[in-house]
Amino acid sequence: MTNDALPQSAPTGRTTQDHIRRANLAEAAGGFDGFVSVDWIRDSGASVSRTLAKWDQGQLAELPAGKAWDVVRMDRSHGWRTVTALRTAGVDVGPVLHTEAYVEVLVPLGSVAAWDQDGATVVAEGELLTVPPPAVVAPHTLNARSWIVPPGTTLTDGMALYEAYASASASMAMDGTR
């Protein structure tokens, strides 16, 4: 049998960079041991295939809040201080999204229902978060969005976030920043 008799695959039209980007997307979507975890996307109620297709095209995807997780939104400087306070306290920090104006922290559903901290809000159920692929981690961005902490297997504890936010607020009041 000669090589001429072997079936030939159709050209995909993808460049090496395209293949690298697709591999990075698969890994960043929560891949473990070569398998992609897309539970956090599916559990949100979003279409996994549509989300991955958007990311494959270099675009942001939209995921609704309030079905699989809640989101606390705070201004950027307060958000960065809050994440630092969480890490300093040894808390497992789940996904944290960075936008031009905000830091958004994903927490277990219902864990921040009684949130009453000034300067931060709980995102309404069904509000769409515009998110980059999990591989886009600060300082890298996609359309001015990146992950401070990419999606993984955990969410930030709501009470720990509340305490860290209060601590960051006190720290900012003491040094006169806001």
Note the pLDDT of residue 153: 83
Residue 10 inside a domain? The answer is no
List Cα–Cα distances, 65 to 18, 73, 105, 107, in angstroms.
30, 11, 11, 10
CA–CA distance, 3 with 17 (Å, rounded to integer): 28
Note the pLDDT of residue 138: 92
Residue 8 inside a domain? The answer is no
Q: How many domains does the chain have?
A: 1
Residue 69, burial from CB neighbour count under 10 angstroms (0-12, 13-18, 19+): buried
Note the pLDDT of residue 174: 87
Tokens 């999606």 -> residue = 151
Residue 9 inside a domain? The answer is no
Residue 46, both tokens: 């979003």
Note the pLDDT of residue 15: 57
Residue 2 inside a domain? The answer is no
Residue 3 inside a domain? The answer is no
pLDDT in tens, 75-111: 999 999 999 999 999 999 999 999 999 999 999 999 9
Range of the domain at 26: 15-175
Residue 5 inside a domain? The answer is no
Residue 168 inside a domain? The answer is yes
List the chain residues with pLDDT less than 70.
1-37, 178
Residue 71 inside a domain? The answer is yes
Tokens 């990146």 -> residue = 146
The pTM assigned to this predicted structure is: 0.79
Note the pLDDT of residue 10: 44
Tokens 């891949």 -> residue = 31
Mean pLDDT of the chain, nearest integer: 84
